[in-house]
Amino acid sequence: MAISDSKDGVFDADAPPFAVLDELECQGVLDQLRNKYGLREPDDYLKMSPESRTQMREEYAWALDWFALIQSKETAWRVKALHGLRDRGVSDERTISTLTAALQDPEWNVRTSAVETLVQLEPRNPAIFDLVANLISDPKLLVGSSAATAIETMLERGYSSDEPQVERIAALRGDPRPEVRSAAMRILAKADAATAGSIDAIVAALDDPNEDVREWAISAADHHREAALRAVPRLTEIVRTEEYDGRYSGICALETLGPAGRVAIPVLHDLLTAEPPNLRFRAAYALVLIEPSAADEEVLRVLREAAGSGIPEEERRAADAFSRLECNDV
């Protein structure tokens, strides 16, 4: 018996045709709701205010199986069903199959909820990674953003992406939307695997016209040394010309290269009087890591300033720099 065809007329025209349940499955819930809302006659439901009817129908739906509610024609109820499956916390075949189907829902907020629920239930499942990654380029940017964040969450929770998966992410570098390109760089900045294609994508993204994409590409280059090695001249130019975020990230990428970053020494030295202080602190530290012999009195002055800054991370780096200089007899 469909809910909208209930024999006692409790859910006539207003009822959402989201499930077909037999009378025994529905009866207990209906009896509880009748008592709660004081319904004595079949047409009492139709005399209720629209708000009360909506509330009653929603309570009825929530009392039923989430797998029935996911078939609702009302978007808000499908979203609630997905949240219910998430809170239920059971990752069985039926649940995953239902969530996977919801990824194709015509409504963007349903697709977003399905993404979030899948990753929460199966954060290390390669098949889920692939399904969610496909949605990064979703026509609706909010879905793509949610998918990208979900992939990042998987990586942060210990999922190790393989090379084909990294290639799929790198291919998003060609998307015309900067939000998608930025998402690709964010993910590559956290993925341990690297391929020739992903390194090419990172290096190319350093010249992206969008500032956000460039900044995440710098972070990706910092994470993947091969990309930084190929992009030393470009990273040096970024440190010289970009705004604060780009400069700082560029310094971090260059400092990991050791002697291979020597071409950046003059630009880094110019930053020893830069503001804010952590920019010059990081430049001084990078000079020590790249070429200890470049640590002149100006570098030492900045390192001493960092050592007394009261900022634990800056003080730690300054101590490390002095230790390295001591080991190199500088």
- 88 located within any domain: no
- 239 located within any domain: yes
- 309 located within any domain: yes
Q: pLDDT tens digits, residue range 274-327?
A: 999 999 999 999 999 999 998 999 999 999 999 999 999 999 999 999 999 988
Nearest CA among 89, 88, 134 for reference residue 111: 134
Q: pLDDT tens digits, residue range 3-60?
A: 343 434 344 333 443 333 334 445 555 676 677 777 777 677 778 888 887 777 766 6
- 157 located within any domain: no
**Domain interval for residue 315:** 231-330
Q: How many domains does the chain have?
A: 2
- 79 located within any domain: no
- Is the pLDDT score of 241 beyond 70? yes
Task: Determine the Cα–Cα distance for residues 62 and 157; give it in Å rounded to an integer.
Answer: 32
Task: Determine the Cα–Cα distance for residues 286 and 183; give it in Å rounded to an integer.
Answer: 28
**Confidence (pLDDT) at 32:** 66
**Confidence (pLDDT) at 49:** 85
Helical residues (DSSP H) of 256-276, grouped into ranges: 265-270
Question: What DSSP state is assigned to residue 54?
Answer: H
- Residue range 229-255: mean pLDDT, rounded: 93
Task: Determine the Cα–Cα distance for residues 322 and 73; give it in Å rounded to an integer.
Answer: 66
Global model pTM greater than 0.85: no
Task: Determine the Cα–Cα distance for residues 175 and 182; give it in Å rounded to an integer.
Answer: 10
The residue to which tokens 């002055």 are assigned: 301
**Confidence (pLDDT) at 10:** 41
- 213 located within any domain: no
* 281, 288, 293, 302 from 328: Cα distances, Å: 20, 10, 8, 19
For residue 321, what is the domain's CATH number? 1.25.10.10
Residue after which a domain boundary falls, among 19, 46, 64: 64
Q: Which amino acid would we find at residue 299? A: V
Contact call for residues 108 and 143 (beta carbons, < 8 A): yes
Residue after which a domain boundary falls, among 15, 33, 64: 64
Contact call for residues 153 and 121 (beta carbons, < 8 A): no
Query: What's the pLDDT band for 81 if we cut at 50, 70, 90?
Result: confident
- Is the pLDDT score of 207 beyond 80? yes
The residue to which tokens 């009896």 are assigned: 31
**Confidence (pLDDT) at 6:** 43
Contact call for residues 213 and 201 (beta carbons, < 8 A): no
- Is the pLDDT score of 329 beyond 60? yes
- 85 located within any domain: no
Q: pLDDT tens digits, residue range 158-200?
A: 999 999 999 999 999 999 999 999 999 999 999 999 999 999 9
**Confidence (pLDDT) at 16:** 40
Contact call for residues 250 and 219 (beta carbons, < 8 A): no
Q: pLDDT tens digits, residue range 245-269?
A: 889 999 999 999 999 999 999 999 9
Q: What is the mean pLDDT of the chain?
A: 86
